A and B are shown apart, each in its own frame.
Chain A
Amino acid sequence: MILSSHFPVLIVVAPLFAAYLMPLCWRWKRGLTKPIAVTALTLSFLMALNMAFQVLRSGPISYHAGNWQPPWGIEIYVDYLSVYMALVVTGVGLLILIYSTKYSDKMIEKGNIAIFFALILLLIAGLTGMVVTGDLFNLFVFLEIASLASYALVPIAGSKGTKGRFEASFRYLYMGAIASTFTLIAIGFAYMATGTLNMADLALRLVEAREAYPTLVLMSLGFFVVGFSLKSALFPLHLWLPDAYAHAPAPVSALSSGLTIKVMAYVIIRLFYSIFGIAFVSSTGLLSMIQIIAALAIIIGSLYAIAQKDVIRILAYSSVSQIGYVILGATLLSSDGFTGGLLHILHHSIMKGTMILAVGAVMYKTGKRNIQDFKGMGRRMPYTMGAFSIAALSMVGIPPLTGFVSKWFLLLGTLEAKSYAFTFVILASSLLNAVYYLRLINYIHFKDPDEGSVRVDEAPMTMLIPIVILGLGAIFVGMMANIPLTLISKAVSSLGL
């Protein structure tokens, strides 16, 4: 019995299993809640790492749940792109979970702590499930687990949360439910046209179905794109996002921004490249439309971010802008652009994770997060704010940090695709990023704190370590970009670019 051959399913089942245990633990053995959560996710991360080596060594893994052949049973299909996303999701998720173990003590209502961890595990399991699955309806099921968990995580802080948290959660649910229904309809159309739910099989049969049922295939694609644009907060469907981030606890904002919307963008990439076929998508004219929307998202998200006073809202609008980069990179039809878009997923997960967690650490200490309250924070919490600044500089795209590498590839991509307007968009947006991130850095390091502000010191170790690891990740990935790039370049070439 080789256990490692079951990793594609165990990577999802491990966090789920731990989540099921949470209510029992909370009732009878409270001390075990956090260790079990962290252990389960560590296992998941190790499995993802192992799978990355397996995939690099011997190609994509196909796992048949219940021993049924793919079109009949559910196939779990791990290729280069999936394993890359799985690594990002479990790795960043694990760091955020470690951070939450301390954060939850003070910032989450006591009765909700076990539920908080269970929901985080469910969210990460849902996202991992979406990433590794090879079946369209299975994707929907895990999408619902992840979505329901993330709606519920917004107001989880209970009486320690902000006042608008229920409304933010309701708005998120409202948009998310519409998106889920659209996705279900799209799956129905795809099934109706082809008679299968397996992604690989679907890709083959859609070629014929395009002739036989052209409207059906087109509608399916349209509903998918609208649904997942809503879920990934692609401009102009981002309206739920700033509120949800501003009212959620910091680790939850970090998870949504770093992972959830990235996985939704991954699904769009998967739909375009592995299912519908990028040539077909581009022949419908949808691709150029999405390019323009993504470019608008990049610019308008940055402009909104400049206008904000609340640091979390700055970061939230910045996410709207960054998801634009990912989508733009994926739709440029150039291998360099695609590489840049995929690298941007990793880059942005790490950077946004660092920054939101750092802001969370400040809130943990002072309870405030207005940009004014960050004056002089650099002297009081040097390590936290150091990591924050590295991440901010990386977002601006200063070499040798990651942001520079991914933006460099994106620029090459726009040049390769001869879309010079987008070259200009990326350059302009770097400038806009610089405006608001350098303003933050200026406040943090070069301003004196206000008279009578709260005196605080460094964040506790359990919170500091994840922040610093993520911050160092910016330097590490930037310097040694060839490590993720080996995986990404294989992913790009396996998807046909």
Chain B
Amino acid sequence: MTEDIIVKTTARLMTPFIQMFGLYIILHGHLTPGGGFQGGAVIGASMILLAVVYGLEEGEKRMSHDLSTVLESSTIVYVLIGFIGIAAGVNFLASGAAGIPLGRPGDLLSGGMILALNIVIGFKVASTGKTLFYTLAKEDEG
């Protein structure tokens, strides 16, 4: 990676905003265009940007291996949310029927399980995007 001060500074300044934007897309997925996939992809892309500008090792430092293992398996939470339906006596992945409050349409806290599922998907997509790129771009040691 070249020592380009402009690129590095810009990347450092931009990354928090990009990630904030990604988070916004995730959290407002049930109100505005976007959702877990889109926001997760934006956050994943911001991590890829960091890796491209600063090199892979620097990016690796920001996320420990344990954490990314846990995030890889975050789909478990999706299934657990699905079990709420069964626990409530209705079917798998039921939301309104399981008695999860739907809230007032238009509020941030509305939409039953949609918000929670969006967050799970967002983490999942971001971490997978990061894993895919890092694994593909990593130099072979042997």
Q: Do chains A and B touch in the complex (CB under 8 A)?
A: yes
A residues near B (Cβ < 8 Å) are: 1, 3, 6, 9-10, 13, 16-17, 20-21, 23-24, 27, 63-67
User: In whole angstroms, how far apart are the Cα atoms of A13 and B90 in the complex?
Assistant: 16
Per-position contact with A for B22-43: 1 when CB-CB < 8 Å, else 0? Answer: 0000000000000000000000
The 23 sampled A-B contact pairs (Cβ below 8 Å) are A1-B86, A1-B87, A3-B86, A6-B91, A9-B91, A10-B92, A13-B79, A13-B82, A16-B79, A20-B75, A20-B79, A21-B76, A23-B69, A23-B72, A24-B70, A24-B73, A27-B66, A65-B91, A65-B92, A65-B93, A66-B85, A67-B94, A67-B96
Bits for B83-104, please: 1 = Cβ < 8 Å to A, else 0: 0011101111111111000000
Question: Measured between alpha carbons, how far is A53 from B82 in the docked complex, in Å?
Answer: 26
Residues of chain B at the chain A interface (Cβ within 8 Å): 66, 69-70, 72-73, 75-76, 79, 82, 85-87, 89-98
Q: Which residue of B lies closest to A5 (CB)?
A: B91
Partner of B95, one of A1, A16, A23, A66: A66
Complex CA–CA separation, A10 to B85 (angstroms): 13
Note all chain A residues with C-beta closer than 8 A to B85. Answer: 66-67
A17 to B87, CA, bound (A): 17
Classify the secondary structure of A's interface with B: helix
Chain B CB within 10 A, most for which of A1, A21, A63, A66: A66
Shortest distance from the beta carbon of A148 to any chain B beta carbon, whole Å? 13
Q: Is the CB of A9 within 8 A of B92?
A: yes
Q: How far is the CA of A67 from the CA of B90 in the complex (A)?
A: 7
Of the candidates A6, A20, A66, A67, which one forms a contact with B73 in the assembled complex, judged by CB atoms under 8 Å apart? A20
Considering the complex, give the chain B residue whose CB is closest to the CB of A24.
B73
Asked whether A1 and B70 contact (CB < 8 A) given A16-B79, A66-B95, A67-B94, the answer is: no
* Residue ID in chain B nearest A74 by CB atoms: B93
Of all chain A residues, the one with the shortest Cβ separation from B74 is A20
A1 CB contacts on chain B under 8 angstroms: 86-87, 89
Between B72, B85, B92, B97, the greatest number of chain A beta carbons within 10 A of the residue's beta carbon is seen for B92
User: Across the interface, which residues of A come within 8 angstroms of B95, CB to CB?
Assistant: 66
- Do A6 and B76 have beta carbons less than 8 Å apart? no
